């Protein structure tokens, strides 16, 4: 309102003084050209600079004309301003967009490309469809120290029932089972290293297995009878201190993919059973082990049980909590801790750090282990969590989720609970690129959006709109119009007196003067000269060290002041509107 009144007053004043007509539209353009606006910052010299300024900025790619050299014609501006000045070819009005390159069955889209405009938030949808039955790979990692002897006996009794229950949950031919066990690192003070105790760490009348770090006792298999056979043959061992090498067991189970046989398109489930706390990184120093855990598979051997060689077991320290979180997350493993009451709190704290984990309290003899596995697995399988990785630092991610297809209820976040089988979950993901107008060093980033534990991944290529897709124009032959221009009156050149130029143009030349157009050392692109470092101006004719480029015309000595002339006695104005 304030701007409108000001323009109306100026227009009326011009008409009153000159008795003529002045275009209200031209006056608006003139006022806006003098007003320093967001998209018209003088530092914006190229189309690239313009589009990186913000999502509201567009570039006029019209070919340069004679009148452009003597008037203030915007190249970068807001879309409505460019249209108002008569720009026909508007570039850099590109908006963020999504292109689906591959759909999917479990998750849609499976592959896509998102192009982001700086400063603009863009939203797209990812849909996940839960299945009727999920194939499951369940690897049972068990503490086989002496205190777990009763639990081993009970597992032998329950082995066949456990397999039957899991087949019931997953459907026929969808369940594979494997087994691993751990005790502790075979070095003092964790075990006794006398020759006799290394062979039999238990009593003479009740001998047991020598202590070991980790054993893979059974690779994942559809033949559940093998699980019963292996468990029936196993014996416990013994160590000296209370804590065990449980984290070693988890890490080896997770990273030894080929050895254990983890499959694709299957739930990866580790069931961990113990009655003791676990050693963590740093505890190995007590045994002279100083080298940090390298998070690699060291379980080896062509004959079951596969084991970690003693030299490797005592070379690397126990894993840290962070390393366990890392390998479990990267391999999308679901964890169920079946532990006794005395250590439940310890394992609950660990479970809270993992993406998808639950803790169940074992009875003293593990009689309820099947109930724990069934209950906790069903609980975890009903959780749907979208995770992302590979997102560049300058891109922010947010999401809303519709957990039930039959309800139009969207909640902020990435997780749904109590999702039934054969149910669709829809995420509305929003990406925002904010980087202070700086284009990333990489042209594209590969990001993943995955439903944790479901082997469902949407691959998204993120591209950044940094350059303009202007049509290729040939550089024009510039035609100088001899008539006096508004720009000359307002901003006379510091090098050539404006009156002298006026005299030359009007006195000695009645026809137009043809002057070859050249960008000199620059390149012609998107309707303007793009100058190299050190040069500026309409035709890159100005030296930045000694001149300043006038947006209306030519070069100026920066030390020469600019005289402002009101052209009220020269122009015949058009009617105000």
Q: Could you give the CA distance from residue 270 to residue 255 in angstroms, rounded to a whole number? A: 12
Residues 356-377 have pLDDT tens digits of 999 999 987 788 999 999 999 9
Of 8-17, 351-360, 534-543, which range is least confident? 8-17
Residue with more model confidence, 564 or 444? 444
Decide if pLDDT at 310 tops 80. Answer: yes
What is the enclosing helix (H) or strand (E) of 358? strand 357-361
Both tokens of 308, joined, read: 């970690």
Both tokens of 116, joined, read: 């982001």
Q: Could you give the CA distance from residue 353 to residue 357 in angstroms, rounded to a whole number? A: 9
Q: Could you give the CA distance from residue 82 to residue 56 in angstroms, rounded to a whole number? A: 12
Q: Looking only at Cα atoms, what is the longest distance across the chain? A: 125
Of 10-14, 129-133, 495-499, which range is least confident? 495-499
Residues 87-98 have pLDDT tens digits of 888 876 678 999
Both tokens of 72, joined, read: 């203030």
Residues in the chain: 577
Q: pLDDT grade, residue 303 (50/70/90)?
A: confident
Residue with more model confidence, 284 or 104? 284
Q: Could you give the CA distance from residue 432 to residue 524 in angstroms, rounded to a whole number? A: 32
Decide if pLDDT at 70 tops 60. Answer: no
Both tokens of 292, joined, read: 């940090």
Across 442-481, b (16+ Cβ under 10 Å) vs e yields eeebebebbbbbbbbbbbbbbbbbebbebeeeebeebeee
Whole-number pLDDT of residue 499: 42
Residues 132 and 174 sit within 8 Å (Cβ to Cβ): no
Whole-number pLDDT of residue 322: 98
Instruction: With both helix axes pointing from N to C terminus, report the angle between 369-381 and 149-170 in degrees, rounded to the nearest 10.
Output: 40
Decide if pLDDT at 416 tops 90. Answer: yes
Whole-number pLDDT of residue 290: 96
In the three-class reduction of DSSP (H, G, I as helix; E, B as strand; rest coil), residue 102 is classed as strand
Helix, strand, coil percentages (3-state) for the chain, rounded to 5, are 30, 25, 45
What is the enclosing helix (H) or strand (E) of 181? strand 175-182
Whole-number pLDDT of residue 69: 55
Q: pLDDT grade, residue 473 (50/70/90)?
A: low
Q: Could you give the CA distance from residue 163 to residue 215 in angstroms, rounded to a whole number? A: 21
Q: pLDDT grade, residue 145 (50/70/90)?
A: very high
Query: Stretch 230-254: mean pLDDT, rounded?
Result: 95
CA angle 324, 368, 135 (to 5 degrees): 55
C-alpha dihedral sign at 320, 235, 268, 264: positive
Return the number of other C-beta atoms located less than 10 Å from residue 533's C-beta.
Answer: 6
Which residues in 404-490 belong to E strands, given as ranges? 411-412, 415-416, 424-433, 444-451, 456-464, 479-480
In the three-class reduction of DSSP (H, G, I as helix; E, B as strand; rest coil), residue 140 is classed as strand
């Amino acid at each position: 309102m304030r701007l409108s009144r000001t323009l109306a007053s100026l227009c009326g004043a011009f008409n009153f003084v000159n008795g003529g007509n002045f275009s209200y539209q031209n006056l608006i353009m003139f006022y806006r050209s003098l007003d320093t606006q967001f998209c018209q910052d003088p530092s914006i010299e190229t189309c690239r600079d313009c589009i990186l300024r913000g999502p509201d900025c567009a570039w006029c790619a019209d070919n340069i004309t004679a009148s452009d050299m003597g008037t203030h014609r915007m190249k970068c501006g807001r879309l409505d301003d460019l249209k108002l000045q008569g720009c026909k070819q508007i570039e850099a009005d590109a908006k963020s967009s999504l292109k689906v390159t591959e759909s999917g069955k479990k998750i849609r889209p499976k592959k896509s490309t998102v192009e982001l405009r700086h400063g603009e938030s863009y939203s797209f949808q990812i849909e996940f469809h839960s299945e009727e039955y999920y194939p499951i790979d369940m690897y049972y990692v068990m503490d086989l120290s002496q205190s777990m002897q009763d639990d081993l006996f009970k597992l032998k009794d329950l082995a066949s029932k456990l397999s039957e229950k899991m087949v019931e949950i997953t459907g026929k031919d969808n369940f594979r089972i494997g087994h691993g066990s751990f005790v502790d690192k075979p070095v003092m003070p964790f075990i006794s290293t006398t020759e006799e105790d290394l062979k039999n760490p238990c009593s003479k009348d009740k001998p047991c297995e020598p202590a070991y770090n980790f054993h893979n006792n059974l690779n994942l298999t559809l033949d559940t009878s093998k699980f019963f056979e292996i468990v029936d043959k196993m014996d416990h061992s013994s160590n000296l201190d209370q804590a065990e090498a449980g984290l070693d067991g988890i890490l080896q189970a997770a990273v030894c993919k080929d050895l254990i046989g983890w499959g694709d398109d299957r739930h990866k489930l580790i069931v961990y059973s113990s009655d003791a706390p676990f050693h963590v990184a740093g505890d190995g120093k007590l045994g002279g082990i100083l080298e940090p855990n390298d998070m690699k598979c060291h379980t080896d051997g062509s004959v079951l049980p596969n084991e970690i060689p003693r030299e490797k077991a005592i070379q690397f320290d126990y894993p840290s909590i962070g390393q366990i979180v890392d390998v479990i997350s990267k391999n999308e493993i679901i964890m169920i801790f079946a532990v006794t009451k005395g250590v439940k709190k310890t394992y609950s704290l660990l479970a809270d750090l993992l993406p998808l984990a639950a803790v169940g309290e074992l009875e003293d003899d593990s009689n309820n282990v099947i109930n724990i596995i069934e209950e906790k697995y069903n609980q975890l399988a009903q959780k749907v969590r979208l995770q992302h990785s590979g997102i560049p630092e300058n891109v922010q991610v947010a999401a809303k989720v519709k957990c039930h297809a039959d309800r139009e209820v969207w909640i902020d976040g990435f997780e749904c609970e109590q999702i039934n089988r054969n149910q669709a979950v829809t995420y509305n993901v929003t990406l925002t690129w904010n980087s202070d107008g700086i284009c990333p060093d990489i042209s594209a980033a590969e990001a993943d959006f995955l439903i944790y534990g479901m082997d469902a991944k949407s691959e998204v290529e993120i591209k950044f709109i940094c350059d303009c897709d202007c049509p290729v124009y040939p550089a024009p032959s510039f035609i100088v119009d001899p008539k006096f221009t508004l720009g000359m009156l307002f901003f006379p050149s510091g090098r050539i007196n404006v009156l002298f130029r006026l005299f030359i143009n009007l006195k000695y030349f009645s026809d137009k003067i043809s002057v070859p157009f050249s960008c000199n050392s620059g390149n012609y692109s998107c309707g303007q000269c793009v100058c190299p470092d050190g040069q500026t101006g309409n035709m890159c004719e100005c030296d930045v060290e000694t001149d300043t480029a006038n947006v209306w015309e030519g070069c100026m000595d920066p030390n020469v002041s600019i005289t402002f002339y009101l052209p009220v006695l020269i122009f015949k104005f058009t009617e105000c509107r």
